[in-house]
Amino acid sequence: MDVPVFKGRVRMAAMVAVVALLSSGIGAADGAEESYGRPGDWPTWQGDRTGSRHNAAERRINAHTAGTLNLKWAFAYSKTGFPVKSQPAVVDGSIYFGSPDGKFHALNAKSGATEWSFDLNTVDPNGVVIDGPTVARGKVFFGDNRGFLYALDRKTGRVAWAENTEPHAAGMHTSSPVYHNGRIYVGASSGENINPDRTYPCCTFRGHIDAFDADTGKLAWRHYTVPEPQAVGTWPSGATRFEPSGAGVWSSPIIDPRTDTLYVGTGQLYSGTTGDFDSLLALDARSGAVRWKQQVTKADTWRLLCGFPDNDGYCPGQRDGTALDFDIGATPNLFKVKGRTMVGVGQKSGVYHAFDARTGEVKWRRQLSVPMPGGGLSGLQWGSSYDGTSLYMATYQANPGTLFALNPANGDVRWQTPNPADGCTTGGAAKFPNVCRLAHTPAVSSTRGLVYEGSNDGKMRIYDARDGKVLWTFDTIRDFAGVNGLTGFGSAISGNGGAVIADGMLYVQAGYYPGYPSEHGTVLLAFGL
């Protein structure tokens, strides 16, 4: 392959790319196979294949300029009652994301001008994008709430391929895809466990992680997290009882490109007691074979009926304390400690676990919040960030949710900053005291010297990476005039993703649970200097 001669700005861009890769703690090999985009882009939910959620090439937004960020444009969604969940990808001056009305959009990242829009109804009626896209090989890859996986042409929005990847009627993609070596990797979860009907024959969904050919959509391999569910009797209603089931892959996978290892977390069981639930899996990215696995909870079987007061017989785990809902909903991080590659992941129990990436040996664990059985809402929800120096993560409804910086060598807390106490008494949230929560739903992101995290109080904040001091706050709970002609209203900063920082801009989805009442739909916000 010919290597172009770099000059001027192109040479500088190449140097920045190398610095970014090295500062991630993983090394330049991550960039050797294929570029996802230009230096400074944010092409995938994880930020990169290794799950850093860190943009080392971002220099314009820094500790000196962050306080001067201001709103550049907003894109408003029609009111649907569905929360916005699709974290954007930003590549080569364009931003890509799904909306709650079943559409997928490409906009100019600087101005918000529409480049193209794609209606999922042309392929999958009633489909909604609830994951974040990945941009690679000239395509945009994403899934939907009905189990379809799409590949659209990045420039035109035309369908390259679209496949129904989910054999179960309740299956969906909350897991965002990651690209590596010609394949797209994505997990499958489901809403089967939240069916409140006692006559429903619970449950038959099996969690799985899949590898697809990026050019054709053909399935290369599938790894199931539980054995085939079998009928084992009946529930008290007389409905057939199937076991085991569940262990969905809610979170997004990461890849170590040097070893071709895929790492991904799994969720709780819906029924039964066996399977790779609440586990971190290390799989051979080429074949799907298990290299190692670590189960971080020994028993966890939970479904929605466990939260009902009259659930006798429908939630056996409640009697013995194992109806926990302590899944690994967060995406893992790869990081280096004294030359040794580690993989860490947060859990809804409030624990961050760190393992040797090659062997799966436990290196350290850190409890960051008091676990909340029967929901796991006090723990680590979506994802963490690694900037080459510290790991950053935030707890959800931990009274209050708190942002942490940990030493990657041993998990020691370097600093911790609670959700500011005035979050629910200032700004738009002050009008809704019964709705507001001091809670961090989003995944954490970072750039050089800065950490980004939003809150259910509707405020997006930037923190100093050295000490956790708040440097910038923006209140989203108000009306915004959208560049698309609609009016949007901010709300809790969205989970299923977090802040995206690319090319001197900050992008935030506002419109998650709890929803603040408004006659308008929610909104994507774009900030710049």
Question: What residues form DSSP beta bridges with 150?
Answer: 142, 162
- Residue pair 282/290 in contact (Cβ under 8 Å)? The answer is yes
192 is written with which tokens? 């089967």
461: closest CA among 482, 377, 450?
Answer: 450
Do residues 126 and 24 lie in contact, with contact meaning Cβ atoms separated by under 8 Å?
no
What are 141-181's pLDDT values in tens digits?
999 999 999 999 999 999 999 999 999 999 999 999 999 99
pLDDT of residue 35: 53
Largest CA distance in the chain: 73
Closest by Cα among 251, 300, 254 to 275: 300
pLDDT at 31: 38
Element (H, E) at 262: strand 261-265
Residues 247, 495, 431, 402: is their CA dihedral positive or negative? positive
Alpha-carbon torsion, ordered 211, 216, 219, 221, to 10 deg: -40
Q: What is the pLDDT of residue 28?
A: 30
Of 524, 254, 476, 525, nearest in space to 385 by CA:
254
pLDDT at residue 19 in the model: 36
- Whether omega before 408 lies within 30 degrees of 0, making that bond cis, reads no
Helices and strands, number each (H, E), in the chain: 1, 41
Measure the CA–CA gap between 358 and 373, rounded to whole angstroms: 32
The owner of tokens 């509707």 is 458
Residue with tokens 């723990």, as numbered in its chain: 379
Domain spans of the chain? 66-528
pLDDT value at residue 29: 33
- pTM score of the predicted model: 0.93
Q: What gap in Å lies between CA 260 and CA 253, rounded to an integer? A: 13
What CATH number was assigned to the domain covering residues 66-528? 2.140.10.10
The string of pLDDT tens digits covering residues 40-82 is: 999 999 999 999 999 999 999 999 999 999 999 999 999 998 8
- Split the chain (529 residues) into runs of 10 and give each run's mean pLDDT: 31 36 39 61 97 97 97 97 94 97 98 98 95 97 97 98 95 97 97 95 98 98 98 97 98 97 98 97 98 97 92 89 95 97 97 98 98 87 97 97 98 98 98 96 97 98 98 98 98 96 98 92 97
| Residue 122 DSSP SS3 | helix
Query: 476-498 in b/e burial notation, b at 16+ Cβ within 10 A?
Result: bbebbebbbebbbbbbbbbbbbb
